[in-house]
Structure 1
Amino acid sequence: MAAAIKLASDRGVSAIELVFARNLFSLPVVATWLTLAPGWRAVRTRRPLAHLSRAGLGLGSMTLNFIALAMLPLADATTIGFSAPLFATILSALVLREKVGRHRWLAVAIGLAGVAVAMRPGGASLPAAGLAIALAGALGTGAVNITLRQIGRTEGVAATVFWFTVISLAVSGLGLPFFAGSHDWQLWALLVLIGVSGGCVQICNTASLRLAPVAVVVPFDYLQLLWAMLFGWVLWATVPGPATLAGGGLIVASGLYTVWRERQLHRSHLPATPTEL
């Protein structure tokens, strides 16, 4: 999805139109999933205001992330976006009162150090505005993860995904008359790809955050770096610099350490097996 967004933005598509396409073409994916799996009754909600605030937060962070992809190389934008799970872990302790031990705080500190390295303070060729927008988008994404966790206590995955898509589509559509342009079939294909892939990942991400703690789920986002490097090399002939690789390595290390630590804690709460007795 990120690669398609960058390709489309390189051809002049505005962030508002990208956001609209993301929601428009993801709606058939969501509708098909609703029809085949939970059913349309699952979109009923008793908390419409919660979905409205979640949609506003998600729409804002999505727009910022799309702008960052247009301004930065794919691998760099992805690396800075990795600070989202770090922010989510911090917010999970502050907002949800989830227990975050010293090991996880250490992982957060290492990850934030990696983000600082990747942003190349003091001397980089990357635009400062793009870096700031990417970081703001990551903070917004982390806040969205926390909001999903809160809504998931009373609302199902179907309702959360459906209402976000519908509300975001309606709001972004208001700006379409001012930002839309004419496109050839290749550009339309990119816009469809953005929406379809976005709909699929939204369903999976929302479901995973209802089934496991935030700090356990979000480190798997780090696999995006491998794909970002590959797409950046194939499509734009760009290779990440030493700062991006070093910063990304620190962030990935912090995420893997978090996953390992959670597994150790989980094992310590399981009944002993015969070989452990």
Structure 2
Amino acid sequence: MDGSIASPRPFLALGIRLVTAFALATMGMLVKLGGERGVHLFEMIFWRQAITLVLIGGGLLLLGKLATVRTTRLGAHSRRAALGLVGMMFTYGTVLLLPLAEATTINFTTPFFAVFLAVILFGEKVGFYRWAAVAVGFCGVIVLVQPGSSAGVNILGVVVGLIASAMVALISFQIQDLNKTESPWAIIFWFTLLSTPVIALALPFVFTAHTAETWAILVAMSVCGAMAQILLTTSLRFGSAAVILLMDYTSLLWATWYGYAVFDRAAPASLWLGAPLIIGAGVLIAWRERQLARARMQPVAEPEPPARA
């Protein structure tokens, strides 16, 4: 999959993704705060996209670089916008339905879906290591969910979270493809420009009056989301999704801390049993992807000429 990277710089990609994990965890915390204050899911997504569009578009206009987002791939941007909007609905929905730490852990199943998509979309042959990792990872999900237990996690939230992870995996492949010809700014600009009018159609049905504090939460959420989107798209420009996704696991530390400090909820024991299985499986997949990428890059040795008599 490394062939889809526009300009490989793995250490820079890892560093960017580390900051991305913090921004995403903070955004998730603010989404949950907004939900507890009665802000509708669709309204949060609208403000998230609209404010990002203003920030990105205004910044490019002030810098005189608005022309740099000109594209010949409007169809690809439209497909990315459609899937991205649906993905946001499921991602935000997961945060609203589950505690932060559990929602974050479910999101770590993205590499498993990346394996499935590599088989379905690209016909890639997947061996024992990656299939075993997928099996172990989903065992971790079962441990986390605790089916049949009164203390189990909300099943609807888990299903929504798994769909969100599948969408993120698919969108990551889309972004890597767009990165071949488009700048990160162009990818984000077209995503917000194409998706904002669509989600705005729901605004008259879900909008409610808000206090100044709630507006501050919505603005902060949107800024964190814009930063995360810029950083995420940039990271995929410099590194393989299979490798840099490792940094996403640090968001569990922030989500656990936010859950305790902001929502007064400590992580359950099932999280500490299930999360290592899910994270370990993701690490194994990333390691195997890296090994395969290195093998593909090694030149094929030419046969030695026969010795002369």
Q: 1:89 aligns with which of 115, 128, 132?
A: 115
The code of the aligned residue for 2:171 comes to: V
1:135 matched to 2:162: yes
Does residue 1:148 correspond to 2:175, yes or no? yes
Alpha-carbon shift at residue 191 of structure 1 (Å) = 0.4
In structure 2, the partner of 1:275 is none
Residue 126 of structure 1 deviates from its aligned partner by: 2.7
Under a length normalisation based on structure 2, what TM-score does the superposition of the two structures give? 0.79
Q: Where in structure 1 are there 5+ consecutive unaligned residues?
A: 272-277
* Cα deviation code 1:63-107 (max 9, x no counterpart): 112122111111111111111232123313432456755434433
Shift of 1:38: 9.6
**Structure 2 CA distance for partners of 1:228 and 1:37, relative to 1, 3 Å:** farther
Mapping for residues 1-40 of structure 1, pairs under 5 Å: 1-31=27-57, 34=60, 39-40=65-66
Deviation at 1:226, TM superposition (A): 0.7
Matched, 1:191 2:218: yes
SS of 1:131 mapped into structure 2: helix
| Counterpart position of 1:205 | 232
Task: Give the number of the structure whose alpha-carbon radius of gyration is greater.
Answer: 2
Of the three residues 135, 138, 143, the one matched with 1:112 is: 138
Q: CA–CA distance in 1 between the matches of 2:266 and 2:90?
A: 24
Change (3 A) 1:246 1:29: farther
Q: Greater CA deviation, 23-32 or 9-18?
A: 23-32
Instruction: Give 1:51 shift.
Output: 1.1
Contact 1:84 / 1:138 at 8 angstroms: preserved in 2?
A: yes
- Residue pair 1:89, 1:215 contacting (<8 A) in 2 also: no
Aligned length: 271
Q: What does 1:1-277 align with in structure 2 at a 5 Å threshold?
A: 1-31=27-57, 34=60, 39-97=65-123, 102-123=128-149, 124-261=151-288
Structure 1 residue 53: Cα displacement: 1.4
Q: Taking every aligned residue pair, what percent have the same amino acid on both sides?
A: 38
> Cα gap change, 1:154/1:187 in structure 2, threshold over 3 Å: closer, same or farther?
same
Distance 1:28 1:190, change over 3 A: same
Q: Answer with 107-116 or 57-66: which moved more.
A: 107-116
Which deviates more, 231-240 or 76-85? 76-85
Structure 2: gaps of 5 or more residues:
1-26, 300-309
Structure 2 distance, partners of 1:238, 1:154, is 45
Q: Is the 8 A contact 2:69 2:189 kept in 1?
A: yes
- Letter of the 2:92 partner, please give it: F
| Alpha-carbon distance in 2 for matches of 1:205, 1:126 | 29
Give me the whole-angstrom Cα distance separating, in 1, the residues matched to 2:246 and 2:112: 9
1:59, 1:189 → 2: CA distance?
23
Distance 1:176 1:197 in 2: 21
Provide Cα deviations, 1:200-223, integer angstroms capped at 9, x if missing partner: 111111122233222112222111
